[in-house]
Structure 1
């Protein structure tokens, strides 16, 4: 508020009309932006009397000046203001030797662990929160023991100990760990190519081949993320809720001055505890409680108490069961891992959580209708399984329909069986199709102006290297203005990264007998380019991810039917590069919020990715030669569940191909109705929103998120979705509205 008062005193808000016009254009359809403020802005801009007789509307004009000051000096979103500072210290050390030392060690360690245990059942996976927690004591230790000695390079002094370990160093280490945690997706291709129980292509052991395709898929995402900064990073409405949780933990360690603030809480309570102490208490209690639903009394995890009423009632188990049923249960679990399985109810906006639930709830009736009418012969199968079945009701054996070289054998297919899907799985595929068409339609109708301005700005930046109209408008955001203190990464850096990645990917595919055209790289990237911006905007605003895996498999399977490996490459370049681009964009937003210089962020992403790729490929080289790996007799539980699933999908979509299942005369061709349904639903909600723009229901309805919720079946169900709704309502509708300071102190750290 002090910044806003000084802003008003300096007279910088004397003419709020231009600012409010820009704010209204950016946020009028933004469900995260407070509707009462939008209504006030519309009243201000739409009333000519305000400008002709300002003395009669002094109160409204003063309110607009205050709003102009608030929006200009801080984020318009309370959840961002609660964890992100609206000031910066450009002199704070960032890319220090100790940060690179700690970050590189953590990146190597997390890459090795995740790669080595990826094929174990169950797998062991280290999330980025672990290095973020460990980085603080490691940084403070080096702060104590290292001397202040160093060297000067290009006019900049690099010291072993430049002073106190700070938040920017901490976040740089976190970003380095973030980019190193994922195993290259192409490793799965190598697994199914090389091992004799799959396609038995011994040449796939070549380390040059493995490195080229791994480096290509890993680095293409950076090129796309960099080119999408003006769409997914700079705009204030791209909040990225998951990033706020990471920043909250960072703030808990470093914000000593604000952490001791006294805030009122529910039931007239007063909270003096710091965010760090609260996190430690919550972490300890959650660690103790974890053992009860997961090991000591597992009924707390799947609390299917309704089936206890009539244990022999099959229909009751089908509808209300939490493990094999549809999970229609008002109190389905006491396991926090299940509550937060799909969305984080404490930090993801309530409208997003509720839309997600609505999609799952209404699609449940489609599942029930399909099952109980025996449509597609689903009544003979489990209602909610994600496994394909044969006509005997047994799990589909994909190896039965291929020859010794892994090529589709039509005679074997005719002698065996077409694949059959459960009712839940059919609905999942139908709404996948609906979600893809809805995403493109939604992006055009709701965000075409922002996308057009972003495209103009990218072109202007490449052509003239000057700030364009869009950048000026985005500068309403205080964080963009603060980042002007640092040199930006030029577009051509990212374009070169993209070009090199494409080139080495095409070389890797062309120089070895993959039976795949190198053009698959370009086709996959083309698919990604169509979706990356609308998907990214939806993810950044709602916290809900739209993945392209099914669409990439569908298009790839139609294009290269009978060639499983070619389909896998198309999937890698169409789906995985898009997922990487969004993940890297989220990291860029982290750096943006923390005011880390963009060029430091660039190298903090590139170098650990390069190192982790070499480590992952080295681990792969060792593991593929382990005797009996990926078999029932594998040592160390290296049973390769992920590899087996990947192989099944490769044969199902690539070898058999979607034409036999979804083509003309295919058993599930009617589910393609999802494509027009997706377009129609978006058009309906868009029309309702245009007709009644002030209606809170239509403004907060998000058809794409609804359809994402409809994907929550097979093998999951409502028991994994509904529990988040009351928690989100309590967090966002009660705590945040009535006790904002308390909500800002306790909810972000509790999200871990």
Structure 2
């Protein structure tokens, strides 16, 4: 889930100030621009009505066989690809913009080439419309996420030799994916319908929809450019991904000193957990844009990111070569646990038959160690952000963006609470959105008012989703040796509900959205000590519920502008359930065929087990050994204390900016700097130089020298590069990389070094 934190950290820097966010991150349609060229968008309502079209054509129908056909196809693609990416050495997400554009192309192609007669008329009922496109995107985006439940199942298979039966496993995924939908859906009146709940992250997608369906020559030119870029990057990716993997990371230093361990640690980066990748050049778009596309992030936001990378290299090198936390006993980069002598820790030797830590066995084995760079990662993540409203994130928002926080939580004042109480129906499952309330006020989103003409998906639907998921989850917990008691499950849901309410509002206002995984691991570890497996399930039902609720509300914002409420509900449920099944099938296939690689420290540049390794190590450390490792006076005591210390980090920068504004300390977003200071802890790191080169080319050179081209094509090209790459990765994963069988790697040659790092650095792990 780290990838979502990373991505949204950048979104916030563009969206905390509403008008500024739109100018930086979106390319409004010509119609929208014509109404606002000479005026300032002063508040959220102005943005909602000027950047995104408020017009709604009620003659358009999303309920077409064509929409279901394309939606199911792209959901299959997205669900499979998301799970493939879960086992990649770098966290990568499926591009939402690509799903939108490719669904448009497929829809228009079916409209153009399929005859409208006989049974074929059901596949071509007429012009492909915006509501169909939104329906498809919502379904595909719901599927195109690796369910956190696969973390739990993968860890059980890899490290506990537990394989829950298929039915139980699938229902585990269903329940954990849908609980957040139920809770988030019943909070729509607070977190979706008011105008201030803008969801800045979807504005580029919605403005692109407006542009695509305005038609005309400009639209056709954009699609022509999109198609050419997709074709070019599709062919190109065959080289770094299969024929010429050295292109993943070309390091002059490694080629000059291939047997030097220090060079490998500092400059290597073509394989997972190899090194920091300093000054390496990456030609693989999969990794350049794996976390967030550099063509979409303004340079002001990139500045803090760049500083974080510099600090990361300095801190990692200092910690390792000064042997802090016995760093040199362990691999430079690793997510595993170790004995003091550097051998991998066997966690099964400290657990009893109930998968709980046995004090006698623990005394025999001794406490495990983390690699020291991983400890730095944990410290910096806790310094940077904390879901319990501690850390640099909260202080930064409080100092720099107090108005955004107050806007997100205005419902908490006495009048707001009184209004909610006056309109509260104890039979909340019978409530029908906000139809009983005044929808003519300025506070209500104008797009929501347009949707009132269509039948709503009432609270009862979301309540049934929640109730069924709740019951299924309880049954699954007692059928999977989870060791999480019912009361632990209830606590995780209570925490999730609170966080959905507060963090959901903050996400809707600012665009900032992040997981509560580390916080959940800490709380779960202290309330149920000595139970690592229980900790995994506690985090699953706490953290994933928050994430899924935010995902639902984001997609409902897309639907609020371009789709019917009930169609959106249907698309989300179908996409989520299909995605969960595909995630499960792919997870088992990849583990069956790549088990040894997934258990290794470094993996390859194709497959890596670093994400299940992280989840497992955290579960053992927090769930099994929280007192022994993290309490005051223990080896890693500063990891939880970092939550508190992070409160004070942004203060000096705010003071500097207040008294010396010409120094531009406002360019320094401290949560990003802290977060990225620990980011190079694993995965393929050779992308850094290429990432910033592309960002500079796009966001400075093109933006300032060719602003017209930038406005028309930058985001379309960005989506095309993502899309063509992801299609090729999808094909190669099955054809030659062993996702469902034997690998067929390209024959060894200088550019495809077998049995070693592809950049010719010394293999250390």
Q: How far apart, CA to CA, are the structure 1 residues paired with 2:471 and 2:193? A: 27
Aligned to 1:34: 20
Question: Within the alignment, does 1:603 sit opposite 2:548 as a pair?
Answer: no
Q: How far apart, CA to CA, are the structure 2 residues paired with 1:320 and 1:196? A: 31
User: 1:91-144: CA deviations, max 9, x gaps?
Assistant: 222222432344245546765787799889999998774696267436643676
Aligned to 1:75: 47
Q: 1:427 to 1:717 in 2, by over 3 A?
A: farther
Give the superposition deviation at 1:711.
3.5
Alignment match of 1:287 (pick from 220, 231, 234): 234
Q: 1:751 to 1:483 in 2, by over 3 A?
A: farther
Give the superposition deviation at 1:429.
0.4
Alignment match of 2:176 (pick from 217, 241, 255): 217
Ranges in structure 1 where 5+ consecutive residues have no aligned partner: 1-25, 39-62, 151-157, 261-272
Alignment of structure 1 residues 1-400 onto 2, 5 Å: 30-31=16-17, 33-34=19-20, 66-67=38-39, 75=47, 81=51, 85=53, 87-104=55-72, 106-107=74-75, 111=79, 129=98, 133=102, 136-137=105-106, 140-141=109-110, 145=114, 147=116, 162-182=125-145, 184-190=147-153, 198=160, 200=162, 204-205=164-165, 207=167, 209-210=168-169, 212-227=171-186, 229=188, 230-231=190-191, 235=195, 238-241=198-201, 243=202, 254-257=213-216, 259=218, 274-308=221-255, 314-322=261-269, 324-329=274-279, 332-400=281-349
Ranges in structure 2 where 5+ consecutive residues have no aligned partner: 1-11, 25-34, 426-433, 720-765
User: 1:658-681: CA deviations, max 9, x gaps?
Assistant: 222212332111333321222112
Q: 1:214 to 1:325 in 2, by over 3 A?
A: closer
Q: How far apart, CA to CA, are the structure 2 residues paired with 1:602 and 1:123? A: 28
Q: How far apart, CA to CA, are the structure 2 residues paired with 1:706 and 1:487? A: 46
Q: How far apart, CA to CA, are the structure 2 residues paired with 1:633 and 1:727? A: 31
- Please say if residues 245 and 751 of structure 1, whose CA atoms lie closer than 8 Å, have aligned partners that are also in contact: no
Give the superposition deviation at 1:721.
4.2
- DSSP-derived class of the 2:19 partner: coil
- Please say if residues 70 and 103 of structure 2, whose CA atoms lie closer than 8 Å, have aligned partners that are also in contact: no
Aligned to 1:516: 484
Q: How far apart, CA to CA, are the structure 1 residues paired with 2:486 and 2:106? A: 47
- Please say if residues 327 and 719 of structure 1, whose CA atoms lie closer than 8 Å, have aligned partners that are also in contact: yes
RMSD between superposed Cα atoms in Å: 4.9
Aligned to 2:747: none
- Please say if residues 180 and 548 of structure 2, whose CA atoms lie closer than 8 Å, have aligned partners that are also in contact: yes
Q: Number of paired residues?
A: 667
Q: How far apart, CA to CA, are the structure 1 residues paired with 2:377 and 2:508? A: 23
- Please say if residues 91 and 291 of structure 2, whose CA atoms lie closer than 8 Å, have aligned partners that are also in contact: no
When structure 1 is superposed on structure 2, of 163-172 and 440-449 the one drifting more is: 440-449
When structure 1 is superposed on structure 2, of 556-565 and 29-38 the one drifting more is: 29-38
TM-score scaled by structure 1?
0.73
Q: How far apart, CA to CA, are the structure 2 residues paired with 1:627 and 1:310? A: 37
- Please say if residues 151 and 612 of structure 2, whose CA atoms lie closer than 8 Å, have aligned partners that are also in contact: no
- DSSP-derived class of the 1:502 partner: helix
Which fold has the larger relative contact order, with Cα–Cα distance below 8 Å and residues 6 or more apart in sequence?
Answer: 2
Question: Within the alignment, does 1:570 sit opposite 2:542 as a pair?
Answer: no
- DSSP-derived class of the 1:90 partner: coil
Q: 1:686 to 1:536 in 2, by over 3 A?
A: farther
Aligned to 2:406: 449
Q: 1:115 to 1:197 in 2, by over 3 A?
A: same
- Please say if residues 191 and 197 of structure 2, whose CA atoms lie closer than 8 Å, have aligned partners that are also in contact: no
User: 1:436-475: CA deviations, max 9, x gaps?
Assistant: 1234445566333122225548937953847989994555
Q: 1:654 to 1:148 in 2, by over 3 A?
A: farther
- Please say if residues 90 and 287 of structure 2, whose CA atoms lie closer than 8 Å, have aligned partners that are also in contact: no
Structure with larger Rg: 1
Give the superposition deviation at 1:210.
4.1
Q: How far apart, CA to CA, are the structure 2 residues paired with 1:462 and 1:364? A: 55
